[in-house]
Amino acid sequence: MSPGTKLGPYEILSRLGAGGMGEVWRARDPRLNREVAIKISAQQFTDRFEREARAIAALNNPNVCTLHDIGPNYLVMELIEGPTLADRIAQGPIPLDETLTLARQIADALEAAHEKSIVHRDLKPGNIKIRPDGSVKVLDFGLAKAGAEDAPVSSDSPTMMHIATQVGVILGTAAYMAPEQARGKAVDRRADIWAFGVVLHEMVTGTRLFQGEDLTVTLASVVMKEPDISAAPPELRRLLTKCLQKDPKNRLRWIGDAWDFLETEESATAPSQSRLGTKGIGGKTGWIAAAVFALALAGLAFIHFREKPPAAPAVTRFRYTLPKGQNFPRACSGAM
């Protein structure tokens, strides 16, 4: 493949990258006069590509790449400009505020996939792109869902697609695998939550949580080593701990619940109320409203007790002289 080559109706423009599955090219769609990204398989269309196509087509989320077309051995996808998250991390640790902005978008993409029973299984910084406007796009949904019988191992990508073990097949990238995934066991959405925790830690520290001299050492580190999150900001440690439980039964079950474990000043002082948000009594707005209400009551009480009680009605006495011989009281009184 080279620039100027025709692939169906698409004109190849330039090479964007390569991986274990094949190559990714920038191309032009003359029918709609737009540029697209074409992922070309090293082989004819396989089950892996078909699954990726179905997974992506089933998702409709602004943080997930859009699938445009399918060919006999290629996928035509939205062309996403901007660096990968791996490129951004290579520049150094990402500030906490920026990290949270990016992480929430990644979590939204995962949540949309998990709601449709789609597990990414290969979430890593290289599969996340940051557009010039700061929005995030998660790539390659469904890439690791297919069987690995036809997928070759490539030195161009750390993604392992064809490593058989006694208990199953290992799919994914070693440094971001959940322990059960590294052991070749069946995985579910909690494997993505583990990978999310690993990526989140790498964003704020600039270093990989698990790494080794080779693939075997890295896998052993994932399976045996307890994650050391001491370098992460204190605000993230509770969330990271919940995401990085080696036993998936103890791990965060739903990515949408991640922010309940984010440590903030409010949650540290009132953890039982902080989840109510700004509209509830635990939020800043609720406390402000309560304070204003208390001040209003105090003001009313002050005014009330300053008021003088109403004066007692004046008493006017009347005296009447009755004719002689009448048995009436000689005098009566009334109030006016």
Residues assigned a catalytic role: 122
54, 8, 1: which is closest to 24 by C-alpha? 1
